[in-house]
Amino acid sequence: MTHCKMKGFLSFLILWLVSKKNMTGVEIALELEKRKGSKPSPGTIYPVLKDLKDKGLLSVDKNKRYSLTNKGKKELEIHLNTFFETFCDVDEMRSQCECNR
């Protein structure tokens, strides 16, 4: 099984968002804006989408909606497992975060 080399957290987050529902690039950008407070530029989003598509992790339909391929689903599962192994103490981290006080 080949692991995609993620270009930072953005690729992982895009795969996660698209796994929940098929989305256009604009919809992905708006969802990212909700999470981080500022909307990423098209120059940030579309190269990542192209890279994920070129790697066979995403497909795009005639309405420009991105969806996960079977390969993309497998890659997302691998990266989710890695994420949870790395941040197994995320609940503890959250409870100590100043922003939650």
70 part of a folded domain = yes
- pLDDT tens readout for residues 24-72: 999 999 999 998 888 889 999 999 999 999 999 999 999 999 999 999 9
Residue 1 pLDDT grade (very low, low, confident, very high; cuts 50, 70, 90): very low
Contact indicator for 57, 72 with CB cutoff of 8 Å: yes
| pTM score of the predicted model | 0.78
Question: Quick check: 5 pLDDT over 80?
Answer: no
Domain that holds residue 68: 9-100
Buried b (16+ CB within 10 A) or exposed e, 20-53: eebbebebbbebbeeeeeeebeeeebeebbebbe
Q: Is residue 4 part of a domain?
A: no
CATH number of the CATH domain containing 29: 1.10.10.10
